[in-house]
């Protein structure tokens, strides 16, 4: 580490002793300086962990005129580190890879090590796919905004939101995180088992001057991501955990679809059929129950067809119950249900 960086770190430690001696827990370095590949314009990326609000006094920003390098002395509290450890994004290098150069509180260092292990375990777990799905949903909001806005500058910002969320989603999906700066992100992404055009499309968005082209590229990125994220998931086989789902489908929507047909209420039929479809999609994301294309076959011109379609889906889902060894809860009368319910 060069003398400028060392002086900055020493100054933070000295100021902490003067103005908030109980605040500073530790200091780490990350980024190019920690990796040893910095160049003459590299700044110093610091993990300054503080334990209370007094520690925010240590934060500042400045520019050295002789080198024209800007420095951001940014502090981090435990809430931020715990958020990072829960892998809400893929920018985890600061938390996981920082080289600790100063320890004031050994207990804080031990807790940081625990958070690092927590993050690594999360990246290797099935639970990470929930984060991935949320990031894709976030990308879709930005994508929708790209269609709501007309100004090129605003659409570019919307595109940034899409790209940022999708890159994080794909990285987390593969159980990894970005270890280098923005300029190397695409290289890290390209190292994953993804199609080459994905990175090329991102580059094309950055270079585009046309709103329609940007929107088309974003759509392609989103569609590819959704397909890619489904490739690796190992879905569970139907099991007893599905108990009650058939009955829920029946009780929530079956008779409502039939009533909608009798009243020729297209809206009610549409909404209830969509609800059934969404429940099946939610289950199929986790369990191998097959594919149900209900809304592809939905018929707004003959609502009786939708009743038949609903029943056909239920009959198909009965096979899932059979595979899982689940019996449908039928009772000849409410008295028999009550007796059985109270008995168990």
69 and 162 fall within a common domain: no
Mean pLDDT of the chain, nearest integer: 94
Give tens-digit pLDDT for 279-302.
999 999 889 999 899 999 999 999
Query: What's the sign of the alpha-carbon dihedral 287, 293, 298, 303?
Result: negative
268 and 208 fall within a common domain: no
162 and 88 fall within a common domain: no
Here the tokens at position 230 are: 């489904």
pLDDT at residue 1 is higher than 70: no
Q: 277-308 burial by CB neighbour count: b if 16+ within 10 A, else e?
A: bebbeebeeebebeebebeeebeeeebeebbe
- Average the pLDDT over 187-200 and give the result: 95
At what angle are helices 255-263 and 266-284 packed, to 10 degrees?
A: 160
> What are the φ and ψ backbone dihedral angles of 91, each rounded to 5 degrees?
-95, 70
Closest Cα partner for 216 from 227, 226, 225, 204? 204
Asked which of 207, 231, 255 is the last residue of a domain, the reply is 231
188 and 280 fall within a common domain: no
Q: What percent of the chain has pLDDT over 90?
A: 86
- In order, the DSSP letters of 83-124 are HHHTTSSS--HHHHHPEEEEES-HHHHHHHHHHHHHHHHHHT
Helix (H, G, I), strand (E, B) or coil at 151: coil
Give tens-digit pLDDT for 198-245.
999 999 999 999 999 999 999 999 999 999 987 656 788 999 999 999
64 and 160 fall within a common domain: no
220 and 269 fall within a common domain: no
Compute the distance between CA of residue 88 and CA of residue 86 in angstroms, rounded to an integer: 6
Give tens-digit pLDDT for 96-114.
999 999 999 999 999 999 9
State the pLDDT at residue 252: 94
Q: How many domains does the chain have?
A: 3
- Average the pLDDT over 6-35 and give the result: 94
Residue 81: give its domain's CATH number.
3.30.460.10
- Average the pLDDT over 132-150 and give the result: 97
47 and 116 fall within a common domain: yes
Give tens-digit pLDDT for 41-70.
778 899 999 999 999 999 999 999 888 888
**Domain coverage including residue 300:** 240-343
212 and 249 fall within a common domain: no
Distances (CA, A) of 119 to 46, 81, 115, 125: 20, 10, 6, 10
223 and 315 fall within a common domain: no
* Per-state percent for the chain, helix, strand, coil, to nearest 5: 65, 10, 25
Q: What is the DSSP letter of 266?
A: H
Residue 177: give its domain's CATH number.
1.20.120.330
Here the tokens at position 272 are: 């209830």
State the pLDDT at residue 66: 86
22 and 90 fall within a common domain: yes
Reported as type and span, the H/E element at residue 146 is helix 128-148
Asked which of 180, 198, 231 is the last residue of a domain, the reply is 231
Reported as type and span, the H/E element at residue 69 is strand 69-73
Q: What CA dihedral angle connects 177, 182, 188 and 194, to 10 degrees?
A: 90
Pairing of strands 45-50, 75-76: parallel
Compute the distance between CA of residue 73 and CA of residue 71 in angstroms, rounded to an integer: 6
Taking the CA atoms of the chain, what radius of gyration do you get in angstroms? Answer: 27
200 and 277 fall within a common domain: no
Asked which of 231, 251, 285 is the last residue of a domain, the reply is 231
The structure tokens 């940081």 sit at: 112
211 and 252 fall within a common domain: no
**pTM assigned to the model:** 0.81
Compute the distance between CA of residue 31 and CA of residue 5 in angstroms, rounded to an integer: 13
pLDDT at residue 316 is higher than 90: yes
3-state secondary structure 170-186: HHHHCCCCCCCCHHHHH
């Amino acid at each position: 580490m060069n003398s400028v960086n060392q002086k900055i770190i020493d100054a933070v430690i000295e100021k902490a002793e003067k103005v908030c001696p109980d605040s500073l827990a530790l200091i780490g370095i990350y980024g190019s300086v920690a990796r040893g590949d910095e160049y003459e314009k590299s700044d110093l990326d610091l993990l300054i962990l503080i334990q209370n609000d007094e520690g925010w006094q240590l934060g500042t920003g400045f520019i050295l005129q002789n080198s024209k390098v800007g420095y951001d002395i940014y502090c981090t509290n435990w809430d931020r580190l715990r958020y990072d450890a829960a892998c809400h994004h893929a920018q985890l290098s600061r938390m996981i890879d920082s080289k600790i150069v100063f320890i004031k509180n050994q207990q804080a260092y031990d807790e940081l090590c625990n958070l690092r292990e927590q993050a690594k375990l999360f990246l290797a777990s099935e639970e990470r796919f929930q984060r991935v799905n949320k990031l894709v949903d976030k990308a879709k909001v930005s994508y929708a905004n790209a269609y709501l806005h007309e100004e090129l500058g605003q659409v570019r910002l919307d595109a940034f939101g899409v790209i940022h969320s999708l890159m994080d989603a794909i990285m987390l999906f593969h159980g990894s995180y970005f270890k280098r700066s923005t300029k190397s992100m695409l290289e890290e992404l390209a190292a994953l088992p993804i199609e080459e055009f994905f990175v090329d499309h991102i580059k094309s968005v950055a270079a585009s001057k046309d709103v329609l082209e940007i929107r088309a590229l974003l759509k392609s990125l989103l569609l590819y991501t959704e397909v890619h994220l489904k490739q690796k998931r190992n879905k569970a086989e139907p099991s007893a955990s599905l108990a009650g789902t058939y009955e829920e489908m029946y009780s929530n929507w079956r008779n409502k679809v039939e009533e909608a047909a009798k009243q020729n209420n297209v809206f009610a039929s549409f909404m209830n059929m969509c609800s059934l479809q969404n429940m099946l999609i939610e289950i199929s994301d986790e369990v191998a129950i097959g594919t149900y294309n209900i809304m592809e076959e939905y018929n707004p011109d003959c609502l009786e067809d939708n009743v038949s379609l609903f029943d056909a889906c239920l009959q198909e889902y009965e096979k899932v119950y059979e595979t899982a060894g689940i019996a449908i809860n039928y009772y000849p009368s409410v008295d028999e249900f009550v007796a059985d319910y109270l008995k168990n």
